[in-house]
A and B are shown apart, each in its own frame.
Chain A
Amino acid sequence: MGFVRAFLRNPGGPIGLVLLAAVVAVALLAPLLAPVDPWEMVGAPFEPPLSPDLPLGSDTMGRDIASGLAHGARVSLAIGLSSTLAALLVGVVIGATAGWFGGLTDAVLMRVAELFQTIPGFILAVLLVATLGPSLSHEILAIAAISWPPLARLTRGEFLRLRNRDFVRAAACQGERPAALVLRHILPNALAPLIVTGALTVATAILIESALSFLGLGDPNLMSWGYMVGAARTVIRQAWWMSVFPGAAILVTVLAINLVGEALNDALNPRLARGSRA
């Protein structure tokens, strides 16, 4: 398989994949690895790492940090994935509409995208969550709302590039209807850059979610990495482990997704792939 080989050629690809698989495994197995509710007080507060029953120590309220990390992985990945899917849905539909119809439709849709892009993304997300109230679905909505414009622009660019290609024109001459032209001929050829950008959007979404939770705007019922760092920031000089471990978890997850995204880019970019084969 040429794709697998191209993916593995970039050393970051396998490393990122292993790290990401570890994070996903922890998220999936969280109820088994840490059966106790992460909000439950299980020991004395301020226990350092490697204490009995508390491998990563406890926080200011005596909650298990390892348990928090495991359950936080679920939240981070769930929000990262679902907000990216929502952003992709909106972005691809809007970008495809703008690129296919062009003219006035294109101008109006792109001005709307610009409107979203001129407002600083994070401020808008904070504003949305603060107004709507902190909950999982509102966080997803807010992150999707600030992530779709680049995806829409990318889709539009790909559509403009492909719309007048010979094979699309040939299909039109063959009598294919516009929906078939878009779904069968243009979209499959626009997918590669969208997959890569989608992967990188997941990483950004996780960062935004962490930042929102850090500011106390996360879902109050869910233990998340950002919340853990935020809650521990006042005692960082007395108890480093409370902020360092969740911080490192964010770092590793985002890094892993970026590495995978980069390797995907190398594998899916036909020009690079062709150059290495010639």
Chain B
Amino acid sequence: MSEPVLSITDLSVSLPAGADRAQAVSGVSLTVAANEIVCLVGESGSGKSMIAHTILGLLPPGVAVAGGAVTLCGRDVAAASEAELRAIRGRDAAMIFQEPLSALNPLKRAGEQIAEAIRVQAPATPRAVVAARVGALIEAVGLPDPARIRDSFPFALSGGQRQRVMIAIAMANNPALLVADEPTTALDVTTQAQILALIRRLQGERRMGVLLITHDFGVVAEVADRVVVMRDGRVVEQGSAEAVLTAPRDPYTRALVAAVPHAGRRPARAAPAARPPLLEIETLSKTFTLRQGWFRPPRQVVAADALSLTLAPGETVAVVGESGSGKSTLGQMILRLAEPDSGRIIFDGQDLLALRGEALRAERRRIQIVFQDPFAALNPRQRVGDAIARGPMAYGAPKDRAMAEARALLDRVGLKAGAADRFPHEFSGGQRQRICIARALALKPRILVADEAVSALDVSVQARVLDLLAELRAEYNLAMLFITHDLRIAARIADRVAVMQRGRIVEAGPAETLFAAPAHAYTRGLIAAIPGRRLFGGLGEAPVPEALTA
């Protein structure tokens, strides 16, 4: 292992004038040897993706290498011409991306796309040889039913299958280095575990170097041999995975590792006394019918199949499930943003589904929602203070008082004075989510539905927003329905957890018992798939934390 596959020395990448900083990457040095996985970790804006793009010569216009060297298999990439880069891409280094659907050509069958990757590097390869190699690659990445996958278009494949096709394309020419940019971020937790295992296996079989870019320390704990932590374009710490994860030296790394949510550091919380439920959901059902062209029968997707769930005053229930489980539809039905086919939703003694018009509007203020994407949830042309004050004003509060309350709320959620007069685009994702929380609380709701409310945030921001939600929950005596795909977050904030799969609740119970002794096989699978579980502990194998037994 004398010569590293990739060695980056003192790399600086400059941003165009007018960007929020002069350099996306400054003075970064790192190496990747053959047969090892190096994880490049950082929060959004840390410059980690820029490094990946530099290695393959894919920097966007206006962004350029300002200094340093990137040596890939003994050649300087930064000085390579476009023709040389084309030869490097695929053969020396290959890349896989976060969103496999947008990285694949939607109009070409999976098999053709893999074959194309082979032909780009070796145009003279006979047809039969290409076909054989495509078949071998599809099998190597563990795709079931290779004949069918080969002839499928990307839209017909699941997210995990698409990512496997992407990996097959990347593996087509046996690259010495695989650059994986957030390869599992868009995937469900069980699929994520499989893809990480696949990358691990291929790396071992082919003695590849892998540079895996991620924001998730769980993923790091799962696969990394070595770790490089980045912040604001600089390396703050690097070392073996063991050392960085268990004994981080840099304070920023320590904060990041500590921010990874897990049950072990669950804040102490007295279980709410048993009270009659505030919200009762009874046998709620909803089926979506998707048309698939003229000659094929419409596809039925069951989003809710006789769902029943209760929420007591002041209680937090996490609804956990993978994409397509129907957990978001449940939240929308409670808010009457989607209409169920049958069933009842009883809120504080009255049937929400029977309400219409003004009666519905009057009741609506008592159930509020915080959406997942803080960039889509705020009107870009409305000032933040106005956005918060509009709710109370719609229920008759005078403008001055509503604005004063909005300012007080903004202060409460941790935003500076003056935030009320600014527009949403002036705030970061975490700050926007705080604004959304303030907007929801302005109406003094009894129930807050948080639909993946922290999933789009960086891990350190996520931890702070979760803390804020926990504080506000106590202050406002809120009942919370916390919809999430991330079991670590559910374990951290919920009193009770309901696990959903294909529109059904397969298991529900108090958080500590459910994570300590999951009864249903699906729950056990979900818990086993949590990345970094062994390192961070807490879920599934650790004893009940003492904070909860009190």
A277 to B60, CA, bound (A): 13
Quick check: which of B190-198, B374-382, B457-465, B534-542 contacts chain A, the rest being far away? Answer: B374-382
Task: Check B395–A175 contact: CB distance below 8 A.
Answer: yes
A151 to B539, CA, bound (A): 57
Give the residue of B18, B337, B379 whose beta carbon is less than 8 angstroms from that of A173.
B337
Against B, the Cβ 8 Å flags (1 = close, 0 = not) of A158-190 are 000000011111111111110010001100110
Task: Check A278–B19 contact: CB distance below 8 A.
Answer: yes
Q: Knowing A175-B443, A189-B380, A277-B18 touch, does A169 contact B394 (C-beta < 8 A)?
A: no
Task: Check A173–B364 contact: CB distance below 8 A.
Answer: yes
> What distance in Å separates the Cβ of B341 from its nearest Cβ neighbour in chain A?
18
Q: Which of chain B's residues 360-408 have a Cβ closer than 8 Å to chain A?
A: 361, 364-365, 367-369, 371, 373, 376-382, 390-391, 394-395
Give the residue of B371, B377, B382, B395 whose beta carbon is less than 8 angstroms from that of A184.
B382
Give the residue of B19, B337, B382 whose beta carbon is less than 8 angstroms from that of A169.
B337
> What distance in Å separates the Cβ of B519 from its nearest Cβ neighbour in chain A?
35
Q: Which of chain A's residues 175-227 have a Cβ closer than 8 Å to chain B?
A: 175-177, 180, 184-185, 188-189
A165 to B367, CA, bound (A): 19
Task: Check B364–A180 contact: CB distance below 8 A.
Answer: no
A165 to B379, CA, bound (A): 9
Task: Check B390–A174 contact: CB distance below 8 A.
Answer: yes
A169 to B391, CA, bound (A): 12
Chain A neighbourhood of B364, CB < 8 A = 172-173, 175
> What distance in Å separates the Cβ of A272 from its nearest Cβ neighbour in chain B?
13
A278 to B361, CA, bound (A): 41
**Which of B369, B379, B395, B442 has most A Cβ within 10 Å?**
B379
**Which of A171, A175, A184, A188 has most B Cβ within 10 Å?**
A175
Compute the total of residue contacts between A and B using a CB distance below 8 Å.
Answer: 66
Chain A neighbourhood of B371, CB < 8 A = 166, 169-170
Number of interface residues of B (CB under 8 A): 27
Give the residue of B19, B365, B373, B376 whose beta carbon is less than 8 angstroms from that of A175.
B365
Task: Check B390–A166 contact: CB distance below 8 A.
Answer: no
A168 to B335, CA, bound (A): 13
Per DSSP, chain A at the interface is helix
Chain A neighbourhood of B19, CB < 8 A = 278
Chain A neighbourhood of B361, CB < 8 A = 175, 177
Q: Knowing A175-B361, A185-B379, A189-B379 touch, does A170 contact B436 (C-beta < 8 A)?
A: yes
A107 to B219, CA, bound (A): 50
Task: Check A167–B337 contact: CB distance below 8 A.
Answer: no
- Does any Cβ of A come within 8 Å of B344's Cβ? no
Task: Check B369–A173 contact: CB distance below 8 A.
Answer: yes
Give the residue of A167, A172, A175, A277 whose beta carbon is less than 8 angstroms from that of B379.
A167
Chain A neighbourhood of B335, CB < 8 A = 169, 173
Chain A neighbourhood of B442, CB < 8 A = 174
- Does any Cβ of A come within 8 Å of B439's Cβ? yes
Chain A neighbourhood of B391, CB < 8 A = 174-176
Q: Knowing A177-B361, A185-B382 touch, does A167 contact B394 (C-beta < 8 A)?
A: no
Chain B neighbourhood of A168, CB < 8 A = 379
Chain B neighbourhood of A277, CB < 8 A = 18
A167 to B381, CA, bound (A): 11
Task: Check B337–A188 contact: CB distance below 8 A.
Answer: no
Task: Check A174–B439 contact: CB distance below 8 A.
Answer: yes
Of chain A, the residue at the smallest CB distance from B373 is A166
Of chain B, the residue at the smallest CB distance from A192 is B381
> What distance in Å separates the Cβ of B513 from its nearest Cβ neighbour in chain A?
33
Chain B neighbourhood of A184, CB < 8 A = 379, 382, 390
Of chain A, the residue at the smallest CB distance from B436 is A170
Q: Which of chain B's residues 290-344 have a Cβ closer than 8 Å to chain A?
A: 335, 337
A177 to B395, CA, bound (A): 10
A177 to B360, CA, bound (A): 11
Against B, the Cβ 8 Å flags (1 = close, 0 = not) of A32-64 are 000000000000000000000000000000000
A174 to B391, CA, bound (A): 5
A197 to B518, CA, bound (A): 59
> What distance in Å separates the Cβ of B15 from its nearest Cβ neighbour in chain A?
9
A170 to B381, CA, bound (A): 15
Task: Check B368–A173 contact: CB distance below 8 A.
Answer: yes
Task: Check B390–A171 contact: CB distance below 8 A.
Answer: yes
A54 to B186, CA, bound (A): 73
> What distance in Å separates the Cβ of A238 from its nearest Cβ neighbour in chain B?
56
Task: Check A170–B394 contact: CB distance below 8 A.
Answer: no
Q: Which of chain B's residues 146-173 have a Cβ closer than 8 Å to chain A?
A: none
Task: Check A172–B378 contact: CB distance below 8 A.
Answer: no
Task: Check A167–B390 contact: CB distance below 8 A.
Answer: no
Q: Which of chain B's residues 416-474 have a Cβ closer than 8 Å to chain A?
A: 436, 439, 442-443
Chain B neighbourhood of A180, CB < 8 A = 390, 394
Sample of 19 more A-B contacts, CB < 8 Å, known A170-B369, A170-B377, A175-B395: A166-B373, A166-B377, A167-B378, A167-B379, A169-B335, A169-B371, A170-B371, A170-B439, A171-B379, A172-B364, A173-B335, A173-B337, A173-B367, A174-B439, A174-B443, A175-B391, A175-B394, A189-B379, A189-B381
Provide a sorted-by-A list of 11 A–B residue pairs whose CB atoms are within 8 angstroms.
A165-B376, A166-B371, A169-B335, A171-B390, A172-B337, A173-B335, A174-B365, A174-B391, A174-B394, A175-B365, A177-B394
Interface residues of B (CB under 8 A from A): 18-19, 335, 337, 361, 364-365, 367-369, 371, 373, 376-382, 390-391, 394-395, 436, 439, 442-443
User: Top 3 nearest A-B pairs by Cβ distance?
Assistant: A174-B391, A175-B394, A166-B377
